Structure 1
Amino acid sequence: MTTMQDVARRANVAVSTVSYTLSGARPVAPETARRVRAAMEELNYQPNAMARGLASHRSHTLAMTFPRFDTAMGETVFEIVRGAQHEAARHGYSLAVWPLEETEAGAELVALVRQGKADGVLLVEVEVDDPRVAALKRARLPFVMVGRTADPTGLAYVDIDFERTVDDAVGELYCLGHRRIAFIGRPASQAETGYGPAVRGRQGYLRAMNNRALEPLAFHCDASPQAGQALARELAALEEPPTGVVVMNDMAALGLLAGLQAQGLRVPRDISVVGAVSSPTLGAMTTPALTTTHAPGERMGAFAARALLAILDEHLDPADCHQLVTCSVVEGESLGPAPGADLEGNHPREKSSS
């Protein structure tokens, strides 16, 4: 394969001159540039993005990486990718998406940057103890997290405020008179590996219930409609079923709503359901339409890309770059007062004995 060094030798110039001719980073004398291009043509040299950026030591590519999960990526992740891609393109950069096996992700990311295939890394689907973060920190390479570790001090990140989002969902149900409120979270496997949303969503729910002196009722659930239906049967079989449910698992939510109604529980008359960090698109597909809280994925992706570019240009200290975003409510038809609730008194009415 013909290299830039081969072109430099044929044109009798320095390698940096070939690089400047390709990138335009510095002026090159017309006669010299002509010799370089003639040598490229004679040798059939095909410059790539890395070659064009060599003079500035830039590939003009940002790597976005996420671990390979057994479950499908949600709509918010696709929005994050879209937002990052648009922002990168505005600054003349490409975005390359790299799904990596967790066991080798750290070493592969370091190699990507050191080999000049990417200038910096956007980490998506961050775990609270993420090996990718540790590897990039050790190598002193530029990166921004879409998510955050257990201790993100000194690191650049943008993340959903999961604790506040779930607390808001519990609070909405509480204000409608619900006191028996269940939480359906991510698969147990994600919680065990320390996947940030799975950990923080559950923590937020437990804190929200404790702050309101309510008994928690939390479940892990696989990300499938079938798992949601099975959990609906489990909830309906309880001696005292919940009157409100916060579900932070889109695929399970599909089955949950259908399953609750199959068990004779009317939504929202008998039981209310709200989707936390959920997809409005999915919410509109359910019957009744699911009330959701939706994260601004595109804005998060754009923020992350913009921050990484500023770090690359040394215009931003990673320690000064952190943002938690809140979710907006998308009204559906799955939320209502608790059965027998006295909303003026903000508590369920006591059933009269007979």
Structure 2
Amino acid sequence: MSARSDARSGSRAQVGQWPGCFRCCLCAARTAPGRGYADRIEEAGMATMQDVARRANVAVSTVSYTLSGARPVAPETARRVRAAMEELNYQPNAMARGLASHRSHTLAMTFPRFDTAMGETVFEIVRGAQHEAARHGYSLAVWPLEETEAGAELVALVRQGKADGVLLVEVEVDDPRVAALKRARLPFVMVGRTADPTGLAYVDIDFEHTVDDAVGELYRLGHRRIAFIGRPASQAETGYGPAVRGRQGYLRAMNNRALEPLAFHCDASPQAGQALARELAALEEPPTGVVVMNDMAALGLLAGLQAQGLRVPRDISVVGAVSSPTLGAMTTPALTTTHAPGERMGAFAARALLAILDEHLDPADCHQLVTCSVVEGESLGPAPGADLEGNHPREKSSS
């Protein structure tokens, strides 16, 4: 007797014995012995909205509202729903969810196409934003755009329903993307700041404070001839925020200490750093301390200084400002750096944008300046002629 006739007569055929039946993951989940139904659903990856509602002990409509944001859901209830989704490996149908809520549940992250490579901090920002977006059921799409058309493209992106809001990275002090999004009244958050960010949502590094700290540490060690190596001149000319604010912070720090500034732009390459090391060594009065806010140039700078016979830190001290966390491990000696918290910035930016979208939070209330943490290396020491506390004999006698 065939399996089909066995079934008709009341006997129970095994899954996979039906003629023409393939052992699909749903069948396997429902019939696997010795495991709870929810566990089998999770293993098969076939959970439904009804399964999530059952696990969270809520109505199916509550699961739907939690996903779509169409109606408010109590925070504790939403937490239970999201926990159930994670436990069951529930993957909502993005197209259906978008149709129901008129949302794409996608955040667009955009940055201009620079001639130089993106630094590690930018990748950290992307990682932090992606993780935070995923926690709330959103995807992150990265869109590098030509600067001349970026504003119009971003507006079209949101209006065509391809993204619900925009995260702007590598912001200029007079950024055309910001102007276009403001005119169109579309939701966005800046990772960076314009010249006047009043009323706008942003997260940025406190460059002025960070560079002042670096100069202050060198000053404490007795250094009085302190140079600054910043971003490429092209970035300063276009008003790229870090290039402008880092240099401004250095000039202010030197002025506050009545010191003569010695600032340089430098292309973002080890070769440019080596060339600048030769230039510094050839000065009639070379600096004894250097603040470098250019990771790629820093790699060449240390090698170049030592090639010129300058020992780091015995003859000259170097500190990296707003640097990637791994930079110090790539240099000899290990560079002391102040690490930009890229992941934390990316997460804050995504969280702020979601609050603007889902909770209608005022962008003016979504802003944060972050400080950089010091990663100790071996590139800092007292200025030549100063003691371990940084005191010069001349300063001791006058005190």
Given that residues 110 and 136 in structure 1 are in contact (C-alpha distance below 8 angstroms), is that contact kept between their aligned partners in structure 2? yes
> 1:52 Cα shift?
3.4
- Which is worse superposed, 18-27 or 37-46? 37-46
Identity among equivalent pairs (%): 99
Cα RMSD (Å)? 7.6
Q: So what's the TM-score if we normalise by structure 1?
A: 0.85
CA distance, structure 1, for counterparts of residue 94 and residue 395 of structure 2: 70
Given that residues 274 and 290 in structure 1 are in contact (C-alpha distance below 8 angstroms), is that contact kept between their aligned partners in structure 2? yes
> 1:6 Cα shift?
30
CA distance, structure 2, for counterparts of residue 254 and residue 39 of structure 1: 48
> 1:38 Cα shift?
32
Given that residues 178 and 347 in structure 1 are in contact (C-alpha distance below 8 angstroms), is that contact kept between their aligned partners in structure 2? no
- For 1:88, the equivalent position in structure 2 comes to 133
> 1:315 Cα shift?
3.9
Given that residues 342 and 349 in structure 1 are in contact (C-alpha distance below 8 angstroms), is that contact kept between their aligned partners in structure 2? no
Given that residues 167 and 204 in structure 1 are in contact (C-alpha distance below 8 angstroms), is that contact kept between their aligned partners in structure 2? yes
Structure 2: gaps of 5 or more residues: 1-45
- Measured against aligned partners, the alpha-carbon deviations of 1:43-74 in whole angstroms (never above 9, x if no partner) come to 99999845531221110000000000011111
- For 1:23, the equivalent position in structure 2 comes to 68
The answer to whether 1:97 aligns with 2:156 is: no
The SS at the match of 2:171 is: coil
Given that residues 19 and 54 in structure 1 are in contact (C-alpha distance below 8 angstroms), is that contact kept between their aligned partners in structure 2? no
- Measured against aligned partners, the alpha-carbon deviations of 1:66-92 in whole angstroms (never above 9, x if no partner) come to 000011111111111000000000000
> 1:174 Cα shift?
0.2
Distance 1:246 1:85, change over 3 A: same
> 1:342 Cα shift?
4.1
Given that residues 220 and 389 in structure 2 are in contact (C-alpha distance below 8 angstroms), is that contact kept between their aligned partners in structure 1? no
Q: So what's the TM-score if we normalise by structure 2?
A: 0.76
Given that residues 228 and 256 in structure 1 are in contact (C-alpha distance below 8 angstroms), is that contact kept between their aligned partners in structure 2? yes
- Measured against aligned partners, the alpha-carbon deviations of 1:129-149 in whole angstroms (never above 9, x if no partner) come to 000000000000000000000
Distance 1:233 1:44, change over 3 A: closer
Distance 1:321 1:353, change over 3 A: closer
- For 2:22, the equivalent position in structure 1 comes to none
CA distance, structure 2, for counterparts of residue 252 and residue 12 of structure 1: 57
Given that residues 293 and 322 in structure 2 are in contact (C-alpha distance below 8 angstroms), is that contact kept between their aligned partners in structure 1? yes
- Which is worse superposed, 337-346 or 174-183? 337-346
CA distance, structure 2, for counterparts of residue 68 and residue 197 of structure 1: 16
Distance 1:19 1:225, change over 3 A: same
Given that residues 221 and 390 in structure 2 are in contact (C-alpha distance below 8 angstroms), is that contact kept between their aligned partners in structure 1? no
CA distance, structure 2, for counterparts of residue 97 and residue 121 of structure 1: 10
Distance 1:3 1:197, change over 3 A: same
The SS at the match of 2:204 is: strand
The answer to whether 1:161 aligns with 2:206 is: yes
CA distance, structure 1, for counterparts of residue 206 and residue 245 of structure 2: 9
Q: Runs of at least 4 residues of structure 1 off by over 2 A?
A: 1-52, 342-354
- For 2:113, the equivalent position in structure 1 comes to 68
CA distance, structure 2, for counterparts of residue 162 and residue 77 of structure 1: 16
- Measured against aligned partners, the alpha-carbon deviations of 1:152-197 in whole angstroms (never above 9, x if no partner) come to 0000000000000000000000000000000000000000000000
> 1:259 Cα shift?
0.2
CA distance, structure 2, for counterparts of residue 304 and residue 104 of structure 1: 23
Compare CA radii of gyration and give the structure with the larger one.
2
Distance 1:40 1:95, change over 3 A: closer
Given that residues 69 and 101 in structure 2 are in contact (C-alpha distance below 8 angstroms), is that contact kept between their aligned partners in structure 1? no
**Bigger relative contact order (CA 8 A; separation at least 6):** 1
> 1:98 Cα shift?
0.2
CA distance, structure 1, for counterparts of residue 387 and residue 58 of structure 2: 85
Distance 1:216 1:99, change over 3 A: same
CA distance, structure 2, for counterparts of residue 80 and residue 35 of structure 1: 28
Distance 1:235 1:24, change over 3 A: closer
> 1:20 Cα shift?
11
- Which is worse superposed, 24-33 or 108-117? 24-33
Distance 1:34 1:107, change over 3 A: closer
Number of corresponding residues: 354
CA distance, structure 1, for counterparts of residue 198 and residue 225 of structure 2: 37
> 1:279 Cα shift?
1.7
> 1:31 Cα shift?
33
- Measured against aligned partners, the alpha-carbon deviations of 1:10-68 in whole angstroms (never above 9, x if no partner) come to 99999999999998979999999999999999999999845531221110000000000
Given that residues 19 and 53 in structure 1 are in contact (C-alpha distance below 8 angstroms), is that contact kept between their aligned partners in structure 2? no
CA distance, structure 2, for counterparts of residue 79 and residue 65 of structure 1: 14
- For 2:6, the equivalent position in structure 1 comes to none
